Amino acid sequence: MKSQGGGRLERFLSGRLSHLLSGRTPGMLGKIPYLLCLRGCVLCVVGVRFAFPWSRKAGSMSQIAAMFAAMLIMLVVLVALHWRREKIRAKAYRRAMVISVLADVALFTWAYILTGRVTSDFFMFYYLPILTAAEYLDLSEIGVAILLALGGLGVGLSFLSIQVRASTIGDPKGIDLIAMWVTRGGFLVLFALVSIVRTRLQRNESW
């Protein structure tokens, strides 16, 4: 009886997952706009990271406030576009997603630099523009988004290596920065490839 019950539960969960993932609308999991939810989580993490007075910062509070405000505006604009997507031409919506990818790379690089730490986990935010490209854009544009994310990470590391001098914990220099860029960039590329394969398969199923 237990094995039959377990089998029914497994079939139910598998069916629900297939229903959520197959033939779905880009950027959505069922009725949940998961990309917007991820963007909201990123905004919360950035706010918490810079809110505490003892958090290390490489910029003034006005710079941090401007960066946070720009991210908030991006979120509000994308939420508005999401709710009006049925009234917006596909080409215009796609253009908006291209702009959001470019803006995300710029804003996350800015936030990364403002942390003042080359070891900051903010590099994981670069996955959001890659995921956005994988959901909405063509393969060639996804490749460009990956290169932009890697470039943004490299710019952030370069700025931090110039700004941050040796401290009590010892900041990575030279070959360490290169190794950090390669390993963190490799992490982003690996997950980007998984996202590309997943979204391409789902689009084929929906077609």
175-190 burial, b for 16+ CB within 10 Å, e for fewer?
A: eebeebbeebbeebee
Distance CA 114, CA 105 (A): 14
Residue that has been written with the tokens 């460009």 in this structure: 144
Q: H-type helices in 116-174, by residue range? A: 127-136, 139-163
Distance CA 132, CA 44 (A): 19
pLDDT in tens, 181-203: 888 888 888 877 877 776 666 65
- Partner residues linked to 29 by β-bridges: 32
pLDDT at 8: 62
| pTM (predicted TM-score) | 0.78
What does each C-alpha distance from 82 to 129, 131, 172, 197 come to in angstroms?
16, 16, 41, 24
Structure tokens at 120: 């900051």
pLDDT at 80: 92
Give the three-state DSSP class for 10: helix
Structure tokens at 204: 């084929």
Residue 32 dihedral angles phi and psi, to the nearest 5°: -100, 120
* Regions of the chain where pLDDT drops below 70: 1-24, 164-174, 198-207
